[in-house]
Amino acid sequence: MSYASSRAWALKETFRGFRQNFSLFSLATFLSALALSIPLFISTIFYELAEPIRQIPTSVEITVFTKSGTDMEKLSKAVAEIETIERVSLVPKDEAIRSLNEHLGLKDKAVKHNPLPDILIATVSSSTSPAGVDAAAGRIEKIEGVDMLAYETDWREKLDALSNAARLGLLCLGIVVLTLVMLVVAASIRLTTLSVQPQMKALYLFGASPSFAMRPIAWRGFILMMSASLGAIAITYAGLAVLGHPIATVARLYEVELALALPPVDWCAGFVIICSLIGYIIALLSAQDAWRKARR
């Protein structure tokens, strides 16, 4: 049989299998779509939350109180020369007292005497460890004109510990979810190949090659998972549409703009392609097992 005719037969046999076992293939597609929608939905939520989370400031700020008469420009340059300092901003004492009064609810009160000095805010790079922050603070404290420092690193250590625990927990959860999804998908595809054993036996007796016999089954797995992945995208879209408004409302309360949406088209296309290839591989492995049994 020629190359074209063998592929034409495989294509015809692929869709004949769909027609003969329509209910079985529909069930397998539905189960696979539900299973695939779980990691897709979770990853979409994290994808949308990633940008607002990255915008949360995690850098430690060192407040530098200066002595009276200090040359602030010279001091700013000296602080900025420290390798771990990302930026330095000057807060004049008038602005500092005004900010303090606003924080205390005294913004309408006139201040006759301002006890605050000029202040420098030295922002340490986010990649600097707590020990590095302490080292930078020690160097700043030795600069001429510095009166005292104020900074806090405990919250950063707690945040790092919480982030590491969250990453580990999400990794374990992801592994469990993906394992369950793969088991469901594999079982669904395997379910559709149970009825091909007599066909494999007949093809073997007629002298068909393994690739010729297994090709329709592999193609069915490819089409099944392609349909299931498209169904998973549709289910995820529906879920995001339901949750989108409530989540956006909560986000606005915290002055964060958040709109749930599917990942970009190229991501969705990649998801469909990967799922289709997985279906092809699993169906091909099932077909190989059926072929081995037919040869016995």
Look at residue 55 in the predicted model and tell me its pLDDT.
Answer: 65
Look at residue 208 in the predicted model and tell me its pLDDT.
Answer: 79
Q: Which of 43-47, 65-69, 76-80, 187-191 shows the lowest per-residue confidence on average (mean pLDDT)?
A: 187-191
Look at residue 63 in the predicted model and tell me its pLDDT.
Answer: 86
- Tell me 262's DSSP state: P
Burial class (CB in 10 A: 0-12, 13-18, 19+), 56: exposed
| Domains within the chain, CATH numbers bracketed | 1-54+160-293 (no CATH), 58-155 (3.30.70.3040)
Look at residue 128 in the predicted model and tell me its pLDDT.
Answer: 82
Q: What is the pTM of this model?
A: 0.65
Nearest CA to 119 out of 100, 134, 139, 136 is that of 100
As a whole number, mean pLDDT of residues 72-93 equals: 85
Per-residue confidence band for 232, with pLDDT thresholds at 50, 70 and 90: very high
- The tokens for 294 are 């037919």
Look at residue 230 in the predicted model and tell me its pLDDT.
Answer: 95
Distance CA 53, CA 163 (A): 12
pLDDT over 70 (residue 57):
no
Furthest-apart CA atoms within the chain: distance in Å: 105
Question: Phi and psi dihedrals of 62, rounded to 5?
Answer: -100, 120
